[in-house]
Amino acid sequence: MNKKVSYSEKEWKEILTDSEYKILRRKGTEPPFSGKFLYNKKRGIYICAGCKNPLFSSETKFDSGCGWPSFREVISKGSVKLKKDKSFGINRVEVVCSKCGGHLGHVFDDDPNPTGKRFCINSISLDFKERK
Ligand code: FE
């Protein structure tokens, strides 16, 4: 099993860029249609920008039109944790990295794709490993 990653807030501030820190550790959201991976069509694996945990495969990435990189499924069951999120008076399900607890985005059940799932993930929470 993956070893958990835990750093103090001070350490995270040193490890992450300012924008990564705001999103991963402070549950921020990048502006829609701004993310570097939104239109990435290369084959490969998306990993956590905080701890490098593998999260999503390009094979399940699709264009949902929501403005954030969208995926139908996670790469393996244990790679993320889902949490109830009632912030802003809206019931949503937050997606966090199972290894470092970093905020990734939200998942919705409303998509017409076969899994019904739409994981909307901040590009800033992700790094990409291309597979040739
Ligand atoms: Fe992580």
Residue 4's pLDDT is 86
Average pLDDT, the chain: 95
* 65 alpha carbon – ligand 1 mean position (Å): 25
Residue 2's pLDDT is 56
* pLDDT average, residue stretch 94-111: 96
Strand order in the sheet with 126-130: 54-57, 44-48, 126-130
Residue 107's pLDDT is 97
3-state secondary structure of 48: strand
Name the residues annotated as catalytic. 120
pLDDT in tens, 27-69: 999 999 999 999 999 999 999 999 999 999 999 999 999 999 9
Residues 6+ apart with CB under 8 A from 120: 64, 66, 68, 69, 70, 105, 106, 107, 108
* 28 alpha carbon – ligand 1 mean position (Å): 15
* pLDDT average, residue stretch 73-93: 95
Domain 9-130 has CATH 3.40.50.2300: no
- Map out the domains of the chain as residue ranges: 9-130
* pLDDT average, residue stretch 56-85: 96
